[in-house]
Amino acid sequence: EIVLTQSPGTLSLSPGERATLSCRASQSVGSSYLAWFQQKPGQAPRLLMYGASNRATGIPDRFSGSGSGTDFTLTISRLEPEDFAVYYCQQYGGSPQTFGQGTKLEIK
């Protein structure tokens, strides 16, 4: 199975700053079948990005995704207070689908 490794484990930033989250796959994720989710405490995950760089419905354009093959990045251009949460990447190009272990984005 494809193992996804996210870094850093925790990212401490202030509102207004830029956040860069990384997701690295143990083997190539075919056709950029890579998604990003945001999860806040007590809530279900919410789809942010799919196909590595496509924003899901209703996701603000301060969120962007990039990458291909084994290296992917989620960027939040200017952090808003509601962006502090845990972020997971997921690959759906291989079976079984797998998730990264998550990056916690916390307020500095």
Partner 1 sequence: QVQLVESGGGVVQPGKSLRLSCAASGFSFSTYAIHWVRQAPGKGLEWVAVVWHDGSNRYYADSVKGRFTISRDNSKNTLYLQMNSLRVEDTAVYYCARDNFWNGYGYFDYWGQGTLVTVSS
Per CB under 8 A, residues contacting partner 1 are 33, 35, 37, 43-47, 50-51, 56, 88, 90, 92, 95-102
- Residue 16 C-beta: closest distance to partner 1, Å: 28
| Nearer of residues 31 and 78 to partner 1, judged by Cβ | 31
- Residue 5 C-beta: closest distance to partner 1, Å: 12
β-sheet with 63-68: strand ranges across? 4-7, 19-25, 71-76, 63-68
| Nearer of residues 69 and 102 to partner 1, judged by Cβ | 102
- Phi, psi (deg, nearest 5) at residue 31: 55, 30
| Nearer of residues 38 and 79 to partner 1, judged by Cβ | 38
Q: Which of 88, 20, 84, 12 is nearest to 49 (CA)?
A: 88
- Residue 58 C-beta: closest distance to partner 1, Å: 11
Q: Which of 92, 17, 8 is nearest to 49 (CA)?
A: 92
- Residue 40 C-beta: closest distance to partner 1, Å: 12
Q: With the C-alpha atoms ordered 56, 60, 61, 63, is the resulting torsion angle positive or negative?
A: negative
| Nearer of residues 15 and 68 to partner 1, judged by Cβ | 68
Task: Round to whole Å and give the CA distance between 35 and 64.
Answer: 11
